[in-house]
Amino acid sequence: MADLSPLEQALGTEFRDKDILRQALVHRSYLNEHPDFPIGHNERLEFLGDAVLELVVTEHLYANYENPEGELTNWRAALVNADMLSGICSRLGVEPHLYLSRGESKDSGSKARYYILANAFEAIIGAIYLDQGWDASKTFVTKYVLSELPRILEHRLYVDPKSRFQEAAQEKMGVTPNYKVISESGPDHAKKFEVGIYLNKELVASGFGTSKHEAQVAAAEAAIRAKGW
């Protein structure tokens, strides 16, 4: 089996049981092609890691901020969503170590890969918890997840992109943005949409998605970057 010491170094933690880290990297699809592989998939570890992550983040927010429950809930959601976790997982260099089916291996950059990375990150947290206990898993989450909180608060990333762009447009220009579908492609069961976001008649940016809402969110994110808001 592949040497996981480079990954341990990237994660900043050495496992007593290497197989528990390896299991955190095994996607169910790999076992479909390798039924004799001696280690199970990572879904149970993901289940455990999700709970550990939520508790560490919740405890930190409760202990350090006296904001109302609704605000803390939004902050927590911004910290533990799939977008955040997949990004952290990617930056830590986990992806090359994943055990994936041939089909999944070729699907780099897809929405499915984005969720696989987020789930693997939660599974790694679960593996750390089982291998080293609460304090080690709390240290890991604090280092890699809670460290994102200042950026989230500074840029109000806990507010969805459509709301953020609308608030900024109304404040800075007195204009409410509107969205228009620029193009549709693909069969009914796999549609892809391009949506433009406009201020008056100015096309600020466009975004793509598998639903109109997803494309609108992508357009709003692009518009925030384009305007520097």
Catalytic residues: 50, 122
Q: To the nearest 10°, the Cα dihedral for 93, 7, 135, 91?
A: -10
CA distance 2 to 213: 41
DSSP characters over 13-46: ---SSHHHHHHHTB-HHHHHH-TT-SS--SHHHH
Which helix (H) or strand (E) is 194 found in, with range? strand 192-199
CA distance 130 to 221: 38
